[in-house]
């Protein structure tokens, strides 16, 4: 995923996690790799991701932020 509103994303100390699902709808926690404004996700058992979400829990706090502003990445589901 590439984010247009920042040049660099950095890891924070929040509790939000990334999850991916294939066409079977089975969600798996994914390990993020931050590279500039891109996030690459890896999840065992999901070869062709069809959906992704981040922080999709009412108690989640941001674990990724924009380096320049310090603003947290908002939760999303797509």
The pLDDT tens digits of the residues spanning 14-71 come to: 888 999 999 999 999 999 999 999 999 999 999 899 999 999 988 888 899 999 999 9
> CB–CB of 21/29 below 8 Å?
no
Strands (E), 4-66: 9-11, 18-21, 27-35, 38-42, 51-54, 64-66
Task: Name the more confident of 4 and 57.
Answer: 4
Taking the CB of residue 30, how many other CB atoms lie within 10 A of it? 22
Tokens matching residue 17: 């996690």
Looking at residue 14, what is its pLDDT?
86
């Amino acid at each position: 995923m590439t984010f247009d509103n920042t040049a660099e994303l950095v890891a924070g100390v929040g509790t939000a996690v990334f999850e991916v699902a294939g066409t079977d709808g089975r969600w798996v926690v994914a390990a993020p790799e931050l590279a500039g404004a891109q996030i690459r996700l890896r999840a065992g058992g999901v070869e062709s991701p069809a959906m992704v979400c981040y922080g999709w829990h009412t108690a989640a706090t941001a674990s990724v932020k924009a380096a320049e502003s310090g603003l947290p990445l908002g939760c999303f589901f797509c």
